[in-house]
A and B are shown apart, each in its own frame.
Chain A
Amino acid sequence: MAMPGQLMFARRLGPTARLLIWLLVGVSCVVADVRYHALEGLRSGFSLLLQPARAAMRAPTDIAAELGGFFVRHRLLQKERDTLLIERAQLMVSVNAAQELARENTELRTLLQLQSRPGQQVVHAALLYQGHDWFAQRITLDQGGNAELRSGLPVVDASGLMGQVSRVYPGSSEVTLVSSPQQLTPVMVERTGQRGLAAGSGQGQMELRYMPAQTDIRAGDRLLTSGIDRVYPAGIPVARVSRVSRSQSSPYLRVESLPLAGLDRSRAVLVLIAEPQVATP
């Protein structure tokens, strides 16, 4: 027989019991996060923990890129410089025109006694980390609350709208890309001015929803932000229509489009800070 005080059985719970306990904890985590958004503090904690690691782990690839750039051939650089010079000359012309227009615009606005639009303030940010895109497409930037980012701000790259800041941590921030499912972007068709709602459909694509069957839209049309949402400034390129198809069962067109921004390529982006104002009529 067992001596008093001696354990006959293991003191630990069996694996099944422990599994059930942890499952319970896990399910309550999911509920707390989805329903009550109660775990944002934990997210901030993880971001503080991982941000230096991510910055450090980015170094090897940066160094590789630097070394690769060092050995670029002289000829190639010269060619690139020539194209850049030409591009610069062309841009100077458009800048002059834009300055002229801006001056005229302010004059007309004072004439009409309208408020002038606030200048756009931008924050440069670099891609810090990209997670798996199984359920939502998000990237992490290396700028956060320190650079006065807040959630809801639009993020653009050189060729178009990337997405919207969705979570802000002290030194980093998460951006939900325009191609992410459930992410809606109010757009207008550049050619006709028709307004619509573009939704991400995952896998790097977007679709234009609720376009009546007789809408004038065809493949190749560009979609710009319409600016009626007070989130995105008007006129940022969003996507290019890739396919328009009619279905028998639905009164709407099925319009597929591809985002113009390099969602999976861009490493440097801009966050637009100033609040876009509603254009006064």
Chain B
Amino acid sequence: MNVATETGNWRRILGSLTLAVLLEQLPWSGWALALRPDFVLVGVLFWTLHQPARISFGAAFFLGLLADFQDGAVFGQHAIAYVIGVYLVLFLRLRLLQFDPFRQAAQLFPILLTVQLVVLLVGWLAVNPPAGLAMLLPVLSSTALWYLIALFVRLWHGKGMQDRA
């Protein structure tokens, strides 16, 4: 791999993750907030799947701390959950890469659900019981977002991305 594609990849990775963080800074409120997909989590898991040598635990942990700050939550709540999500993706990586976008999203659903349940559990243990189960809604929208991204990548690159990983 030459230097040009390498920097290109880094640029693409950092660009997409920055975009994800910025999207979360939009003034979401009401239903849009309740249904907002976790852009950052989807971004991290996507790059963990396709570029595990570059984006994995460390980045996930840092971005998890950022997510904690955004919700005014305890530091570590999302960080722990994101790290577990990365682990699950690494564990299922070879399997996930074989699927078409729809099945891949279907396989991602339990992972995203696990991540959210870990957020719930850590918050429950560290602060107080959560207010309702509305916090599981973003799992659905994140899965849908994953499907759209996977579909886009498939259309853009053909089978791409996998051989370069």
Contact = CB atoms under 8 A, between A and B. Distances in A.
Contacts of A50: 25, 66, 69-70
B interface majority secondary structure: helix
A34 interface: yes
B25 A138 contact: no
Contacts of A167: 72
Nearest to A200: B131
A16 B71 CA distance: 28
B131 A130 contact: no
Contacts of B33: 130, 132
Given A22-B57, A135-B128, A30 B122 contact: yes
Interface string B1-18: 000000000000000000
Contacts of B57: 18-19, 22
B29 interface: yes
Interface residues of A, number: 48
Given A129-B70, A202-B132, A19 B83 contact: yes
Nearest to A51: B25
B28 A23 contact: no
| B: contact size bracket | 35 or more
B90 interface: yes
A interface majority secondary structure: helix
Given A15-B87, A53-B22, A57-B27, A131 B75 contact: no
A47 B75 CA distance: 14
Nearest to B138: A132
Nearest to A180: B131
B22 A26 contact: no
B49 interface: no
Nearest to A128: B27
Interface of B: 21-22, 25-30, 33, 56-58, 60-61, 64-66, 69-77, 79-80, 83-84, 86-87, 90-91, 119-120, 122-123, 126-132, 134-135
Interface of A: 15-16, 18-19, 22-23, 25-30, 32-34, 39, 42-43, 46-47, 50, 53-54, 56-58, 60-61, 127-138, 140, 167, 174, 181-182, 202-203, 264
